[in-house]
Structure 1
Amino acid sequence: MPMDEMSVWDVVVVGGGAAGIAAAASLLKRNPSLSMAIVEPSDRHYYQPAWTLVGGGCFNPAETCRSTASLIPFNAKWIRNRVTRFLPQHNLVALDNGQHLSYRSLVVAPGLELDWGAIAGLQETLGKNGVTSNYRYDLAPYTWECVQSLKKGRALFTQPAMPIKCAGAPQKAMYLSCHHWEKQGHLGDIDVQFHNTGGVLFGVSEFVPPLMEYVKRYGANLNFTSTLIAVDGPAKTATFRDTAEDGSTRERTESFDMLHVVPPQRAPAFIRDSELANEGGWVAVDEASLQHPHYTNVFSLGDACGASNAKTAAAVRKQAPVVAENLLAHLDNRPMTARYTGYGACPLTVEQGKVVLAEFGYGGKLQPSFPLNPAVARTSMWWLKRYAMPRIYFSMMLKGHEWLAKPEKL
């Protein structure tokens, strides 16, 4: 296996998160002789779908974290470094130590970037003054502290402009918080406000009615086209920009006792500023094959991928086999055969013990895995979310075992 910087790798995978490891495992399962490098700067790997449960007091945060070294496929080389630039016309990836990796094929899967700095005053107050977010490992436990300590007052929950990872997570934080307050008898003394930059509660209309039942049950107030722009932690105030139907805007400030923030999200700068990016700054791909439209030896999946699917770990489970089959076909000069249909899943935890499992593909087309009405909150889906999915993630998806993930044909 090549070791020095100018050796040519069969595959370079950028990113050692869910998408990068899953794609690497699927590739090596099909061809164990591939020379493969995985570029990932962090020595920690997180199962992020459980952080909402951590914030609801339903999951041990330590169980969401493992060492990166324990998850790298045995016959891949982990390069602990950061990518600074793509040079796709030369089949090179530049690293921040000045080295370059040369490849025959490239998988771009570094995830996305949480833009905390886009909200004035937010970074200074995260983790204190009742300001929290389930989108960070170190803050999700603080969410649960805030929920437990709040007996009366105002709780604000925010959702930024799309795309974001797990678009249901902002409201899941609200539902689990409200369910706790309901059980403790405090819900009637808490003013719950949900501020969504978008104009609808959920992007797939079939799931809005069951979610609205819980919004009404919990007495939550919905504020659409309302964007968090500033936070003053010590004063416990949040400023929003509301957009009217005619496009006019006004700013208003609300006090809070608890504020759960979901920050705006974007692709990392080394993607946004690269030749691989589409107009939105994400990696340009063909929606079906996940191949770059101009650099045919480049593929992408996961949160940085520019396909129009929902950015979820469930999407990665379906994307990884597609990338693996199509990349190997490209290396062998064979026609590509695997097709990604946009599958994503959002297990909407509407209360502790019940989940609405939203599964859908491109254009919001329903793609249920079970012969049940998907728009019903079920205890069985809570069991799937809370107990089965973490095991499926670590023991199957990241190991190249593609349960219920066989690609469709192009």
Structure 2
Amino acid sequence: MVETHSVERFTVVIVGGGAGGISVAARLRRRDPHITIAVIDPSATHAYQPGWTLVGAGVMTSAQTLRQEGGLIPKDVTWLREAVQSFQPDEQSVTLENDQVVEYQRLIVCPGIQLDWDSVKGLKETLGRHGVTSNYDRDSAAYTWECVRHLGQGKAIFTQPSMPIKCAGAPQKAVYLSSDYWRREGVLHHINVQFCLAGGALFGVPYFVPSLQKTMDYYGVDIHYKENLIAVDGEKKEATFQKVGTDETVVRSFDMLHVVPPQSAPAFVKNSPLANDNGWLDVDPHTLQHKRYATVFGLGDVLGTSNAKTAAAARDQAPIVAGNVLNSLSGSPLTEQYDGYGACPLTVSYGRVVLAEFLYGGKVAPTFPYDQRKPSRFAWLLKTQIFPRLYWNGMLRGVDPRVTHKVLKDT
């Protein structure tokens, strides 16, 4: 007897219920209430991940960054609470891990990014203990704050792996906020702060680097370029780094270690026909339509495009994808174009932020009429108060980002 599996059919299937997936589902539902939409995501909890930097600095709590996923799925959108096993783009179907088959007319792939904790030897075993922490982990972000609060002397090491990673400014945000706390407590001169990064520059957009370097110098941070963390021994409090491009390694002792793990596309994307040679979703950088499969689109951190992997990028990509998917369904040209917009509010201290906004090619694209290289109290208000509200009440409800940009400009 041949085993059969259930098949469900939708006009649009969205893989991923994070910032990109919920936002584009809401946009589609607003624009066309008649199409059938499904969101595939196994998680019961949705996190405002930009807030984890603030959790690690004692400004927010973990609970403030979390909501129930079911309460965010737009009305009349089907939630399939399963993980994806594989894609069959020639058959226009997705197979779930329970072997259920989901067919689509159009597919939107936005499952985010994979945190490769296992690629650093010993990291998973000691994360959240022995002073080893990470703001990239929901459960460890609060431990970051505990480590910072209780460190009065010693050595604090902060790491950053090779690109791409989500929110490329987040590793140094942890450096700045921790250092500023220690400065305010009067113990910074007793702490040797080190920032070890695999790259050769502080930030990918050169326009902002001098301002960020000035901040590093102000806190007295020792920067080690082209060093990649490869192993952690929590009990010995030792971190092993490899010099990029060589076999040379260096072992550094620590009292606190903030780790940013290497990152890649989720395995079910990386090992699928939808991936490019580097494992990322292979889409046109402007229309966000797949380069080989016209019925497939994507947005968010999974994309193999050169824009920064930030929530702000996903926010601007959502209406582009929604518009082009609807155009595609009607046989119209794909008129919506993404310009590579991304934003990174770099929290250089408690109360001040360097708001970096840029397009493809590192072209600076400020929303506000001031020199955004300069740390700003206004940008701190945006980061801590306005952006979370816009996320929950604007982006995830499908509000056009052009509307929120205008509101912010008029503030």
Indicate how the Cα distance of structure 1 residues 302 and 390 shifts in structure 2: closer, same or farther if over 3 A, else same. Answer: same
Q: What is the deviation of 1:42?
A: 0.3
Structure 1 residue 60 displacement after superposition: 1.8
Which residue in 1 is equivalent to 2:81? 80
User: Quick one: distance in 1 between partners of 2:154 and 2:247?
Assistant: 27
Q: Partner of 2:250 in structure 1? A: 252
DSSP-derived class of the 1:286 partner:
coil
AA partner of residue 346 (structure 1): C
The residue aligned with 1:17 is: 18
Give the Å deviation of 1:285: 0.4
TM alignment of 1:45-124, pairs within 5 A: 45-124=46-125
**2:49 is equivalent to residue 39 of structure 1:** no
Q: Which residue of 1 aligns with 2:261?
A: 263
Correspondence for 2:132: 131
TM-score (norm 2): 0.96
What is the distance in 1 between the residues matched to 2:302 and 2:150?
Answer: 37
CA distance in 2, matches of 1:403, 1:305: 20
Pairwise CA distance, 1:7: 3.8
- Counterpart of 1:185? 186
Looking at structure 1, the residues matched to 403 and 290 of structure 2 have their Cα atoms a distance apart, in angstroms, of 22
Query: Aligned to 1:272, which of 270, 273, 288?
Result: 270
Deviations 1:178-197 (A, max 9, x none): 00000000000100110000
- The answer (yes or no) to whether the contact 1:195–1:224 under 8 Å persists in 2 is yes
CA apart distance, 1:403:
3.2
1:238 paired residue number: 239
- In structure 2, the residue matched to 1:327 is 325
Q: Secondary structure at the match of 1:279?
A: coil
Spell out, residue by residue over 1:177-217, the C-alpha distance to the aligned partner (whole angstroms, 9 max, x if none).
Answer: 00000000000010011000000000101111111111011
Q: Which runs of 5+ in 2 are unaligned?
A: 406-411
- Equivalent residue letter for 2:288: L
Alignment partner, residue 376 of structure 1? 374
Q: Distance in 2 between matches of 1:120 and 1:301?
A: 31
1:248 is displaced (CA, Å) by: 3.3
Q: Which amino acid aligns with 1:330?
A: S
> Which residue of the partner structure matches residue 212 of structure 1?
213
CA distance in 2, matches of 1:260, 1:353: 22
| Residue 401 of structure 1, aligned match among 399, 402, 406 | 399
SS of the aligned residue for 1:97 comes to coil
1:144 and 2:168 are equivalent in the alignment:
no
- 8 A Cα contact 2:8 2:101, kept in partner: no
Contact kept? 1:317, 1:405, Cα under 8 Å:
no
In the aligned structure 2, how far is the partner of 1:248 from the partner of 1:231? Answer: 19
Q: Offset at 1:305?
A: 1.4
Post-superposition, which runs of at least 4 consecutive aligned residues in structure 1 deviate over 4 A?
none
Q: Matched residue of 1:147: which SS?
A: helix
Residue type at the aligned position of 1:341: D
After superposition, give the CA deviation of every residue in 1:316-364 in whole Å (9 maximum; x if it has no partner). 1100000000000000000111000000000000001000000001110
Deviation at 1:306, TM superposition (A): 1.4
Aligned-pair distance for 1:5?
4.1
User: How far apart, CA to CA, are the structure 2 residues paired with 1:129 and 1:406?
Assistant: 43
- Shift in alpha-carbon separation, 1:405–1:294, aligned structure 2, 3 A: farther
Amino acid at match of 2:233: D
Tell me if the contact between 1:5 and 1:102 (Cα under 8 Å) persists in the aligned partners: no
Report the aligned-residue RMSD: 1.2
Q: Partner amino acid for 1:68?
A: E
Gaps of 5+ in 1: none
